[in-house]
Amino acid sequence: MTKLLALCVAAVLSLAAAAPPPPDVDQLAWLSGTWFVEGEDGWTEERWAPPRGGVMLGTSLTGRGETARFYEFMRIAADGEGRLTFWASPSGGTPVPFRLTSMSESEAVFENPENDFPKRIVYRRSGRVLTATISGVGGANPQTWRYELRRERRRSRPGR
């Protein structure tokens, strides 16, 4: 019985040692920046601060002309179970969690099957282009934004 217990403990320890460490928010640093898209229907600007202290903060602002029509606060951080989670707070509402389901050097997929829409959020970066897609189950009814990385524009202040 002691040998069997020792073998079980050794097997569990070897599995634990072989498991990769959980994703860290620092691995999403490629998302940082000011991203902008403009078209006939208006504009959307999404900003992501670099990761710091285990958290990435983002904002999104959509409008037409000089009028903002929609905003969202976003956060990526580990949840209570240590899993990276994207928290979306449209129009300042209650944050909705989307757990990271896959990640690479240039793509992150977050999902929440319990949410009405979207159920899936995908960010993919290629050079100075960031593609963000929200969709339903299995990619149904996708909505995609193709942002370009933009330098911060300094606004002139009166009297300067």
Please report, for the domain that includes residue 127, its CATH number. Answer: 2.40.128.20
Structural domain total, the chain: 1
Closest listed residue to residue 62, CA positions, set 156, 131, 147, 136: 147
22-26, 60-64, 134-138, range with the lowest pLDDT? 22-26
For 141, the domain range is: 22-150
Please check whether residue 42 lies inside any domain of the structure. yes
Is the distance from CB of 46 to CB of 35 less than 8 angstroms?
yes
pLDDT of residue 112: 98
Query: Residue 21's pLDDT is what?
Result: 67
Identify whether 14 is part of a domain: no
Tens of pLDDT, residues 90-133 = 999 999 999 999 999 999 999 999 999 999 999 999 999 999 99
Residue 7 lies in a domain: no
Phi, psi of 33 (to 5 degrees): 135, 180
Which of 19-33, 35-49, 144-158 bottoms out in mean pLDDT, i.e. has the lowest?
A: 144-158
- Give the DSSP H or E segment for 13: helix 2-18
* Assigned domain for 2 exists: no
